[in-house]
Amino acid sequence: MSKILVIKTSMIQEEKSISTALVNRFIKYYKKKNQLDEINTLDLNTVEMANITMNQENFNDKSFFNSEHSARYIEQLKNVNKIVFVSPMTNFNITALAKNYLDHILVADKTFSYKYAKEGASIGLLPHLKVQILTTQGAPFGWYQWGNHTKYLEGTWNFVGARIAKSINICGTKLHENSNLMPEQLIDKYDLEIKLAAEKF
Ligand SMILES: Cc1cc2nc3c(=O)[nH]c(=O)nc-3n(C[C@H](O)[C@H](O)[C@H](O)COP(=O)(O)O)c2cc1C
């Protein structure tokens, strides 16, 4: 039996959120295949930690890394086998909630060995994790050469030692052809891709 943690990071209202429909569909297929697995959700909208941004004051007095906001969530990662991480593109990157979360769990000697020792020589300290990244973006893939939130997430989770499953990136959610579709209807277009990924994960 595996323990799965679904980390949701979209600021879009659940019923209107395409990334929420995407993760719901993924989990539906995952559950069918892995009926005994334990699945928990961390919705970053609802936790104080993810709403706190690192700044001069809280970094300097170390309160940003207090155990309730940092160690607790690192511990959570140590106690699960798989992560499903969901993020829409927001101004060419992951959401601010997602970034705040990563800032709290990317801690030297806790989730990776020291990163400046030698290029490429850092060691991820969460090698037990397997991560499925699910992303959405309003524009078609490649429109913004400087923004690839999917790749950023793959690199970041790989940095902490996780094995990365092939990501699903649903692009063009804001295109005219998708504008009249409900999130579920848009996700229907990707149903087979999602099913295959969920069964493999
Ligand atoms: C504040 C904001 C910023 C956004 N920035 C981008 C962006 O930089 N590039 C892009 O392709 N889409 C952008 N979008 C579109 C979203 O990525 C897209 O609509 C996404 O599907 C919304 O999240 P959801 O999947 O949870 O519904 C933005 C949307 C919002 C609300």
Would you say the CB of residue 137 lies under 6 angstroms from ligand 1? yes
**The predicted structure's pLDDT at residue 121:** 72
Q: Does pLDDT of 172 surpass 90?
A: yes
Domains of the chain by start residue, with CATH:
3-200 (3.40.50.360)
- Distance (Å) from CA 13 to ligand 1 centroid: 13
Average pLDDT score over the chain: 96
**pLDDT per position as a tens digit, 2-35:** 999 999 999 999 999 999 999 999 999 999 999 9
Do the Cβ atoms of 128 and 92 come closer than 8 Å? no
- Distance (Å) from CA 105 to ligand 1 centroid: 24
**The predicted structure's pLDDT at residue 160:** 97
Q: Does pLDDT of 118 surpass 80?
A: no
Confidence class for position 112, pLDDT limits 50, 70, 90: very high
Ligand 1 mutation pick, 8, 146, 173, max ligand atoms within 8 A of CB? 173
How far apart are alpha carbons 59 and 33 in whole angstroms? Answer: 43
Per cent of the chain over pLDDT 90 is: 95
Do the Cβ atoms of 6 and 86 come closer than 8 Å? yes
Q: Does pLDDT of 52 surpass 90?
A: yes
Tell me what the mean pLDDT of segment 107-134 comes to.
Answer: 88
Q: Does pLDDT of 117 surpass 70?
A: no
**The predicted structure's pLDDT at residue 110:** 96
SS3 110: coil
DSSP letters for 60-106: HTSGGG-TTTTHHHHHHHHT-SEEEEEEE-BTTBS-HHHHHHHHHH-
Q: Does pLDDT of 115 surpass 90?
A: no
Q: Does pLDDT of 116 surpass 90?
A: no
Do the Cβ atoms of 81 and 128 come closer than 8 Å? yes
